[in-house]
Amino acid sequence: MTIMTNINRRSFLKSSAGAATSLGLIGAGGKAFASDETIRIASLLDLSGGLDALGKPMQDAITFAVEEINAAGGLLGKQIELVTYDTQSDMRLYPQYAQQAVMKDKVAAAFGGITSASREVMRPVFRRLNTLYFYNTQYEGGVCDRNIFCTGITPAQKQSKHVPYAMNKWGKKIYTLAADYNYGQITADWTRKYCMDNGGQIVGQDFFPLDVTNFGSTIQKIQEAKPDFIYTVLVGGAHQSFYRQWAAAGMNTRIPLASTTMTIGGEQKFLAPEETNGILLCFNYFEELDTPANKAFLERFHKRFGADYPYVTELAMATYQSVYLWAEGVKKAGTAERMPVIEALESGISLDLPSGKFSIDPQTHHVIMDINIGQIQDRKINILESYPQQHSLDTSAVCDLKKNPDDNTMYVIKV
């Protein structure tokens, strides 16, 4: 489903369940992006299906960024036009809509994908069709492709701080629970690396398909293994059942939890406090960041979407900030054409944004960012420790786009 939108949230929600509407698509061929008056971009996100809790805040974020830029005068004297695709958590739709965004809708850039699997089926389409792609989800690291910019946190930024912090807090025996696809599997490997690097031991490890909802047998295995804490790499709505079942079994007061994914869908706002209290987190962004830039952002965002908006998530903020990075590249290039924008972004663009300083690393096309450790208490997050300007050293170990600009590899980094 594709929707042309004037960036009105209410009309978007009404129309996203119906047929697509059109604002006059231009024909194939040529380099115009929508029209002489607009620059068109696409979002390809899961607004329905099993990952919609992650996709909807990301859609709100890109909507808001586009609105702000347009209100400030747009780009190069033009307004940004957002084309929205609901990929419906359906792997078949990602490449289909990616091709449609380029061939039919003539977008200058695309933002989207949540799982690594969705990224990897869209990435070759955008590369082949010469359309700039931004991936805004935390992931396992290793993408090396000049046509993509990855603004999400990677293991060398996250697990390198998160795992030893949790070990120092609770002990050295870890039991890992992870989603059964490349993000979960590779992140579990990174968890093992940082556990062993710090003198720890993985005493158990289980992987779960995204539709699993029953964790009873796993909880029994954990009780028998007696770890010092659980490290969860669970993804999507079905996996939230674990936290409910963990608390219902009385384990929430016996063995603590650290998670790479809790709160990326605002889960702490709809799970009961006793189901999430004490969970240790590590992200670039929390709503609770006490900075003037973040406070100003939240004031504007809540004015737009309502004071009762559940939570601005890590993935939503990465999406919002990626639009500003792209816009800065367009301004510096003086055009929305792909290669000039890539070269502008590679020149060392750095912005002060709600999460802090956000800078493109030209070698990897990943982001240098601040990292924060926090802990959930009564649906809010207490920030415990901050680490300024962390690099994605995992990806830079295998990727150098300055030396090898034609590299086009998803490296599975051996750890």
Q: Do domains 2-153+290-370+390-410 and 159-259 have the same CATH topology?
A: yes
Q: Is 171 left (phi over 0), alpha (psi -120 to 50) or beta?
A: left
CB contact at 8 A, 202 and 219: no
What pLDDT, on the 0 to 100 scale, is given for residue 15? 32
What pLDDT, on the 0 to 100 scale, is given for residue 413? 72
What pLDDT, on the 0 to 100 scale, is given for residue 37? 86
What pLDDT, on the 0 to 100 scale, is given for residue 55? 95
164: CB partners within 8 A, 6+ apart: 194, 197, 198
DSSP character string of 207-239: EE-TT----HHHHHHHHHH--SEEEEE--SSGG
The CB-side HSE value for 125 (13 A sphere, CA atoms) comes to 19
What pLDDT, on the 0 to 100 scale, is given for residue 152? 96
- pTM (predicted TM-score): 0.89
Q: Check pLDDT > 50 for residue 13.
A: no
CA distance 187 to 170: 20
Residues recorded for the chain: 415
**C-alpha distances in Å from residue 206, one per residue of 175, 177, 178, 222, 287:** 8, 5, 6, 10, 31
Query: Which pLDDT band, with edges at 50, 70 and 90, does 33 fall under?
Result: low
414: CB partners within 8 A, 6+ apart: none
Q: Indicate the angle between helix axes 52-71 and 292-305, nearest 10 degrees.
A: 100
What is the chain's mean pLDDT, rounded?
90
Q: Indicate the angle between helix axes 159-170 and 182-197, nearest 10 degrees.
A: 60
Please report, as a single letter, which amino acid is at residue 108: A
> In this structure, what token pair is assigned to residue 159?
């697990």
pLDDT digits (tens, 9 = 90+) for 362-407: 999 999 999 999 999 999 999 999 999 999 999 999 999 999 999 9
57: CB partners within 8 A, 6+ apart: 265, 266, 310, 311, 312, 313, 315, 316
236: CB partners within 8 A, 6+ apart: 50, 51, 53, 54, 179, 210
Which of 245-250's residues contact partners 24+ apart within 8 Å by CB, and which partners?
Answer: 245/214, 245/215, 245/216, 245/219, 246/215, 246/219, 246/275, 247/272, 247/274, 247/275, 249/219
What pLDDT, on the 0 to 100 scale, is given for residue 54? 92
Q: Check pLDDT > 60 for residue 22.
A: no
Domain limits, the chain: 2-153+290-370+390-410, 159-259
Please give the average per-residue pLDDT across 46-59, as a whole number: 93
Class of domain 2-153+290-370+390-410: alpha beta
What pLDDT, on the 0 to 100 scale, is given for residue 10? 34
Token pair 């979407």: residue: 305
Q: What are phi and psi of 343, to 5 degrees?
A: -65, -35
What pLDDT, on the 0 to 100 scale, is given for residue 5? 43
CA distance 317 to 152: 10
Q: What is the DSSP letter of 75?
A: B
**C-alpha distances in Å from residue 96, one per residue of 49, 101, 125, 239, 368:** 17, 9, 9, 28, 32
Q: Check pLDDT > 60 for residue 153.
A: yes
What pLDDT, on the 0 to 100 scale, is given for residue 217? 93
Neighbours of 6 (CB within 10 A): 12
SS3 state of residue 173: strand
400: CB partners within 8 A, 6+ apart: 363, 364, 407
Q: What are phi and psi of 392, to 5 degrees?
A: -85, 75
Q: Indicate the angle between helix axes 241-248 and 216-225, nearest 10 degrees.
A: 60
159-259 under CATH 3.40.50.2300, yes or no: yes
pLDDT digits (tens, 9 = 90+) for 319-351: 999 999 999 999 999 999 999 999 999 998 999
Partners of 149 in the beta sheet? 134
> In this structure, what token pair is assigned to residue 111?
């933002």
> In this structure, what token pair is assigned to residue 333?
């290039």
Q: Check pLDDT > 90 for residue 139.
A: yes
CB contact at 8 A, 132 and 110: yes
CB contact at 8 A, 360 and 349: yes
CA distance 246 to 234: 13
pLDDT digits (tens, 9 = 90+) for 210-222: 899 999 999 999 9
Query: Which pLDDT band, with edges at 50, 70 and 90, does 67 fall under?
Result: very high
Query: Which pLDDT band, with edges at 50, 70 and 90, does 182 fall under?
Result: confident
